[in-house]
Amino acid sequence: MRSLRLIVPAVFMSAAVIAAGAPAGAANTPTPHSEWWLSSWGIDKIWPITQGNGVTVAVLDTGVNARLPDLAGSVLPGGDMTGAGTDGRTDTDTQKGGHGTAMAALIVSKGRSTGVLGVAPQARVLPVTVGNGTATAEDFHVRIAKGIRYAVDHGAKVISISQAFPASGYPESCPTDILDSVEYAARHDVVIAAATGDDGGAGNPAQAPASCPGVLAVGAVNADTRPWQLTQQVPFTAVAGPGGTVGWVGKDGKPGRTGSGTSQATALTAGGLALVRAANPSMTAREVVQRAMATALDSGTPGRDDQTGYGAFRIHRAMDLSFAVPRTAPNPPYERLDRVMGQQAPSSTPATSGQAEKKKSGGGVPVGPIVAVVVFVLVIGLAVAVGVARRQRADGGSPGDRTPDAEQDAAPQSFGRPDRRDPGGH
């Protein structure tokens, strides 16, 4: 979360390992910290399909130093909810060396000067300054509520929040103004991911906005997909992202800092959600969240647990529609939101959700069964038409209407052929 605990990096990884999918200009020298999640997520298989093009991720944090070479061209003018009047492209963090910049780099860094690669380097970051722990809880939740609405109104499709405050004392563990903003985001088809917290060894207090209905609450796992030791244990955890031994780039542009936390896990998961949305632009926010949980890799205690939720987030499964997810699969974040807001939950996933864009990699949903059904319907229709015509001739009438030309719709396409072996084992 807000505190980045410094630990010795466990492994080193060269950007050359993922050169097949690396963005142009990325450094091919070893990064000064581990980026184990890139190989774990099989990013070399994902980036040839999408690197997040066309998706804006709002980062509600301390602002972002947009002048860094690694972030140049990737950070949009944003907003400042603290009243300081910035456009979000200045990192105001005076405690952790640039928390907001670090989160943005994990999402969109191109590695031009550091070799550090973001998970969705062709996405765009919308920086929304809300400050950090120096604000009171009352001021902070007002800033976050305003920040969510600002992000929605300025084109974000994913909102990443690696900041939090105590949620005790609020109905549903969520202040009313934030709840209203989350519902606003849901109505505008925007996914919100927020960090559960780093107090798993000290009481596990509920923290907002991760505790709010309608928010994908993110815990943290290590490289072995086991729960990071301090990830919060709370009943609303939905999935877990890479959080153990995750390096970052500060607002001074210097890499080499390493740490662990649900802050990093949330930013990386938000980047992964951007990839899912870029690959499937008609997939609704509700379905994105549902698929993120349904396709996660079980981690920690078997079944859903309070540390990692439904398990470690897997980008390739969430984005590949050949990994079937029942329309009735659990969706606790939205089920809670529907209940609290008095809404009727959709009876099924919208029909457009399966209309992923056709990709060059081929594959997707087999068209054979669809063609067979269409042919069967046409044969039956023709038989009925022939029977009607015969009856009309018997009655002295004319054949009447002709059978209309049948037009077969294109079959829904997934992002590629299913890889049941799971790249990287995750």
Which residues does residue 216 pair with via DSSP β-bridges, in sequence order?
A: 193
Whose tokens are 């009876």? That residue is 347
SS3 per residue for 213-277: CCCEEEEEECCCCCECCCCCCCCCEEEEEECCCEEECCCCCCCCEEEECHHHHHHHHHHHHHHHH
Q: Which two three-digit tokens encode residue 143?
A: 């800033």
Q: Which two tokens stand for residue 271?
A: 């980047």
Helix extents (H) in 90-216: 99-108, 137-153, 176-187
39 in active site: no
The one catalytic residue in 33, 93, 99, 353 is 99
Q: Which residues of 287-323 are buried (b: 16+ CB within 10 A; e: fewer)?
A: bbbbbbbbbbbebbeeebbbbbbbbbbbbbbbbbbbb
Report which residue type is found at 138: E
Residue 108, C-beta contacts closer than 8 angstroms, at least 6 positions apart: 52, 57, 71, 74, 75, 118, 120, 121, 122, 123, 124, 125, 271
Structure tokens at 175: 């202040």
Q: Is 426 a catalytic residue?
A: no
Type of residue found at 277: R
**Residue indicated by tokens 């939101």:** 337
Question: Which DSSP string corresponds to 6-37?
Answer: ----S---BGGGGGGGPPTT---SB-SS--HH
Joined together, the tokens standing for residue 180 give 């209203």
Q: Spell out the residues 6+ positions from residue 316 whose beta carbon is closer than 8 angstroms to its own.
A: 41, 42, 45, 46, 419, 422, 423
Respond yes or no: is residue 181 known to be catalytic: no
Both structure tokens of 215: 């928010």
Per the residue annotation, which of 34, 74, 211, 263 is the catalytic one? 263
Whole-angstrom distance, CA of residue 240 vs CA of residue 174: 21
- CB-based contact 158:281 (threshold 8 Å): no
Which member of 33, 40, 61, 299 is catalytic? 61
Residues with a catalytic annotation lie at 61, 99, 263
